[in-house]
Amino acid sequence: MKRVYIETYGCQMNEYDSEIVKTILRQSGYHITETPDNADILLMNTCSVRENANRKIVARVHEFRHAFQENDKQIGILGCMVTNLGEDLLDLPINFMAGPDSYKFLPGLIEKAKKDKLVHKKLSRTETYADIYPTRVDGINAWIAVMRGCNNFCSFCVVPYARGRERSRTIPDIVAETEQLVQEGFIQVTLLGQNVNSYDDQGKNFADLLQAVSQVRGLQRIRFTSPHPKDFPLELIEVIADNAKICNHIHLPLQAGSDRILRLMRRTYTQKQYMALVDKIRSKMPNVTLSTDIIVGFPTETWQDYLQTEAVVNTVGFDSAFIFKYSERKGTLAAKKYADDVPEEEKTRRIVRLNDIQKNISLKKNLAHVNDIQTIIIEQLGTKKSPDDCQGRNQGNKLVILPGKHHVGEIVQAKITDATAHVLKAIPAQ
Ligand code: SAH
Ligand code: SF4
Ligand code: F3S
């Protein structure tokens, strides 16, 4: 029996896709291994969203080839780099490539790639892998991709090219999968989509889906990522607010604060509209945890433009933010229309400054929870610092460290006693 090792880069959708790949390969008689050393086939499920994601993969391919020079292991590249870069990757010492919609062809590709380098990267309008039950990792959380693809074409982003058009699974299908997951012991599902709230099952929207999934008995928590600000009607906010199982955490990518930059990015909202959405969310969910994604140094971004991003960060007070330097991606609208003209040192200056500001805000937000009683679900026994502590998460998706013995999946009422910018510390509430 051939053994396959798979390494995953990029977003949660890729984590999920690797679980899909494992099932497809197992059904074709392959065995999945946990280390590259004893594998016959090495797979890398890749990300192409920024240039350094690409660089990492190229280095890893060479590292693998070097380490396993003597034996004839096959190396395959999967995922977004394949659809984004395609044949350009054939110079690498690899045997085959398969894009995000090509995984059902993998067993055939692996078989045939013994002779020639093979590429399958055709995107599909319909593939959702609804018929493949992922090989999930044990734990409390199961990912479910409820929609795939993106139709938005933000000017900086490769995802619409790498992942193709939007398509959704049906509500009954997702509910049935959730029921099975609960029977298997998972107590949380995270609904995934490149624009998860653009979900559309023949007119049934994301709010309908959330409501349906929340009816599943035994399920404790529902998370979702990533929503786009353009699809946030009041109805959706109310469903999240009124439903105890749906976590009060919203990841709401801002990208930039300047209206001029937002327009060039094709984000379809202005700073004012974004702020109004935050207000609307907070009016229904006063304790909501908000996180965001931000890009600094988009082409033509001036210091004044950048300060607008800073102003939004200061005004909203996000609990956390993922901040990126603009990375020009071949084939995107921004790459075609605008020179990548913000110097690297300037991008660095902006990202360092904004991360610093955000860190202080995160710390303040976290310290404000001290003395709160919160519901924590334990995810891991032992932490980096101490084998005697456990790690879990609150509703807001914040990491919480607790002393003492618990078990994974245990639901603990805990009192927050201290915080850093990254974690809360707690003790079981009396
Ligand atoms: N679908 C999600 C984002 C997916 S990509 C959404 O619309 O919110 C995740 C994040 O990577 C984006 O939110 C953006 O902040 C960042 N990103 C995407 N393309 C980028 C680029 N070319 N350079 C730098 N950051 C980028
Ligand atoms: Fe990329 Fe925009 Fe689509 Fe998000 S919405 S995946 S940023 S194109
Ligand atoms: Fe990367 Fe593809 Fe996800 S480009 S962020 S792995 S959708």
Evaluate: CB of 253 within 6 angstroms of ligand 3.
no
Q: Domain segments of the chain: what residues? A: 3-120, 373-428
Confidence label for 74 from pLDDT (cuts 50, 70 and 90) = very high
Q: How far is the CA of 149 from the centre of ligand 2 (A)?
A: 9
Look up the CATH number of domain 373-428: 2.40.50.140
Confidence label for 54 from pLDDT (cuts 50, 70 and 90) = confident
* pLDDT (average), residues 186-210: 97
Residue 277 backbone class (left: φ over 0; alpha: ψ -120 to 50; beta: rest): alpha
Nearest ligand 2 atom to alpha carbon 157: 1
Residue nearest to atom 2 of ligand 2 (CA): 154
Q: Which of 152, 156, 261, 332 to mutate to test the pocket of ligand 2 (most atoms within 8 A of CB)?
A: 152
pLDDT of residue 283: 97
Q: Which of 49, 146, 332, 342 to mutate to test the pocket of ligand 1 (most atoms within 8 A of CB)?
A: 49
Q: Is the pLDDT score of 90 beyond 90?
A: no
pLDDT of residue 227: 95
Q: Give the pair of three-digit tokens for residue 182.
A: 């609960």
**Using the 8-state DSSP alphabet, how is residue 255 labeled?**
B
Interior/surface letters 169-183, b for 16+ CB within 10 angstroms, e for the rest: bebebbbebbbebbe
Ligand closest in space to the Cα of 335: 1
Q: How far is the CA of 80 from the centre of ligand 2 (A)?
A: 14
Nearest ligand 2 atom to alpha carbon 255: 7
pLDDT of residue 116: 78
Confidence label for 184 from pLDDT (cuts 50, 70 and 90) = very high
Which secondary-structure segment (H or E) carries 161?
helix 159-163
**CA distance readout (Å), 87 to 10, 119, 160, 320:** 21, 8, 19, 38
Q: How far is the CA of 11 from the centre of ligand 3 (A)?
A: 5
Evaluate: CB of 163 within 6 angstroms of ligand 1.
no
What does the mean pLDDT of the chain come to?
Answer: 96
Report yes or no: 120 and 296 within 8 Å, Cβ to Cβ: no
pLDDT of residue 404: 86
Evaluate: CB of 157 within 6 angstroms of ligand 1.
yes
Residue nearest to atom 11 of ligand 1 (CA): 49
Residue nearest to atom 7 of ligand 3 (CA): 159
Nearest ligand 1 atom to alpha carbon 227: 8
* pLDDT (average), residues 39-44: 96
Which secondary-structure segment (H or E) carries 352?
helix 344-367
Nearest to 146 by CA among 167, 115, 176: 167
Strand blocks (E) in 297-349? 320-325
pLDDT of residue 68: 83
Evaluate: CB of 354 within 6 angstroms of ligand 2.
no
Percent of the chain past pLDDT 90, that is, above it, reads 90
Q: Is the pLDDT score of 426 beyond 80?
A: yes
Percent of the chain past pLDDT 70, that is, above it, reads 100
* pLDDT (average), residues 222-240: 96
pLDDT of residue 230: 94
Nearest to 255 by CA among 266, 240, 239: 266
Evaluate: CB of 154 within 6 angstroms of ligand 2.
yes
Confidence label for 385 from pLDDT (cuts 50, 70 and 90) = confident
Confidence label for 11 from pLDDT (cuts 50, 70 and 90) = very high
Q: Is the pLDDT score of 114 beyond 80?
A: no
Q: Is the pLDDT score of 215 beyond 80?
A: yes
Please give the CATH topology (third level) of the domain spanning 3-120.
Rossmann fold (3.40.50)
Q: Which residues contact 404 (CB under 8 A, 6 or more apart)?
A: 388, 389, 390, 428
Task: Give the tens place of pLDDT for each residue, 118-131.
Answer: 999 999 999 999 99
Q: Is the pLDDT score of 428 beyond 80?
A: yes
Interior/surface letters 26-42, b for 16+ CB within 10 angstroms, e for the rest: eeeebebbeebeebbbb
From first CA to last CA, the distance across the chain in angstroms is: 54
Tell me whether residue 286 is exposed, middle or buried, using C-beta atoms within 10 angstroms of its C-beta: 0 to 12, 13 to 18, 19 or more. Answer: exposed
